[in-house]
Amino acid sequence: MAGCIETMFYNGISTPSIGFGTWQAKDDELEQALNNALEAGYRHIDTATVYENEKVIGKVLKKWIDSGKLKRDDLFIVTKLPPCGNRPSGVATYLQRSLDDLQLDYVDMYLIHTPFAFIECGDMHPMKDGKIMLDMNTDHVATWKVMEEQVDAGKAKAIGLSNFNITQISKVLEHARIKPANLQIELHAYHQQVPLVDYAKKHGIVVTAYSPLGAPGLSKFMEDMNQKAPKMPNILDNPVVDEIAKKHNKSPAQVVLRHGVQKGLIVIPKSTNPGRLRQNLDIFDFELDENDMSKLNGLNKDARFLDFKVFPGITEHPEYPWKKE
């Protein structure tokens, strides 16, 4: 992709700083969108066992690789250990399941999706009496050891964490033989996570911003889970973003994505719309100046949109990462 900025991890592996998010994208819609995304130039794909879309992704990737249009090496594939597999005995099983579904021999990045865990019962989100069924015995250090074994076995090029807080990351770092390379967290103009990003940078961990557009599709997910969607401000309607977008002749989405990339983050916007997914990639032919950056930095209001409270009872888990918020 022309002019694309690359991000390098501490272990020398690098990836395009923009990836294709796939949460809430499935079946035929995703198949079409992923074809469009690969045509447009996306090479970094973000998925997870819980998105239940790895088979579709695997089918599309296989076609591209078999046809010779792409080599496996051209791609950067990220997937994640689900909360129901978040224990030492779950790691190899769930990673192998992802590899089988993705039709790959290895993933480029394997992340522990959340610091909390659900019980293992074959259901991604096991519920009983209206509450999520938590496994309270989560041991990050023990699970991390098995994550490291996946790198040794060549099944993951690198490993990392998602939705962990500073205390949780520091505990993993203290005991790690192979350091986490990547931290994937909610990060957008309204939730810039400055202390966590600074901490990660200090420890050589690359940060990936999920929901970089402020997750305008989140209310649909809440409704699908039979939950009332909170009223969330839409970053893409913010007048400051709009003014900067007009100045550069770009869209608000392109401005907030460029803001993330210029701060040294990887951004992984999701779109299944052919025009919008191309637009999101087209952020390497302009630069935000210091004044733009400081105005965008000033939009931060520590507004977390995705706190997983859609799963009733989740805050009772000892490793729920945002107890103090």
Instruction: Establish if 271 lies at the interface with ligand NAP (CB under 6 A).
Output: yes
Residues numbered 35-94 forming contacts with ligand NAP, rule: CB under 6 A? 46
Instruction: Establish if 270 lies at the interface with ligand NAP (CB under 6 A).
Output: yes
Q: Which of 268, 281, 288, 296 binds ligand NAP (CB under 6 A)?
A: 268
Instruction: Establish if 184 lies at the interface with ligand NAP (CB under 6 A).
Output: yes
**Dist. CA 286–CA 262, nearest whole Å:** 11
Count H helices, E strands: the chain? 11, 12
Residues numbered 119-158 forming contacts with ligand NAP, rule: CB under 6 A? none
Stretch that binds ligand NAP, among 94-102, 136-144, 274-282, 285-293 (CB under 6 A): 274-282
Instruction: Establish if 299 lies at the interface with ligand NAP (CB under 6 A).
Output: no
Q: What are the backbone dihedrals phi and psi of residue 230, each rounded to the nearest 5 degrees, phi first?
A: -70, 155
Q: Which of 85, 90, 212, 260 binds ligand NAP (CB under 6 A)?
A: 212
Who's near 246: CB < 8 A, 6+ residues apart?
none
Task: Outline where DSSP puts E strands in the chain.
Answer: 6-8, 14-16, 20-21, 44-46, 76-81, 107-112, 127-128, 131-132, 156-162, 182-186, 206-210, 266-267
**Residue 91 Cβ vs ligand NAP, minimum distance, rounded to whole Å:** 17
Instruction: Specify the residue, 24 or 262, whose C-beta has the smaller distance to ligand NAP.
Output: 24
**Dist. CA 246–CA 32, nearest whole Å:** 31
Q: Which residues bind ligand NAP (CB under 6 A)?
A: 21-23, 46, 113, 162-163, 184, 210-217, 236, 251, 253, 268-273, 276, 279-280, 306
